[in-house]
Amino acid sequence: MSKNLRSSSTLGVGYVLSVPNTYVGFSLLGIAPKILGGLGLYADVKFSHDSPEGGAEFRDDIEVEDSEFTYGDQLFERRSTWLMADLALAYAVSDELALYFGGGYARKKHYRNYFDNSLTRGFEGFYWILDDEDSGDRVNIIGGMLIRAAPHFVVQTGFDGSPRGVSVGVMFTLPL
Other C-beta atoms closer than 10 Å to the C-beta of 84 total 26
pTM of the model: 0.88
Tell me the C-alpha distance between 62 and 129, whole Å.
Answer: 7
pLDDT band at 4 (very low <50, low <70, confident <90, very high): confident
- Is position 3 within any domain? no
- Is position 5 within any domain? no
- What pLDDT, in 10s, does the model give residues 53-106? 988 899 999 999 999 999 999 999 999 999 999 999 999 999 899 999 999 999
Tell me the C-alpha distance between 1 and 136, whole Å.
Answer: 47
- Is position 1 within any domain? no
Quote the radius of gyration of the chain (alpha carbons, Å): 21
* Total of domains in the chain: 1
> Which domain covers residue 21, as residue numbers?
10-175
- Is position 168 within any domain? yes
CA-to-CA separations, 137 to 46, 54, 70, 169, in angstroms, rounded: 15, 21, 29, 24
- Is position 18 within any domain? yes
The pLDDT of residue 10: 87
pLDDT band at 6 (very low <50, low <70, confident <90, very high): confident
The CATH number of the domain holding residue 127 is: 2.40.160
- Is position 30 within any domain? yes
DSSP conformation class of 69: I
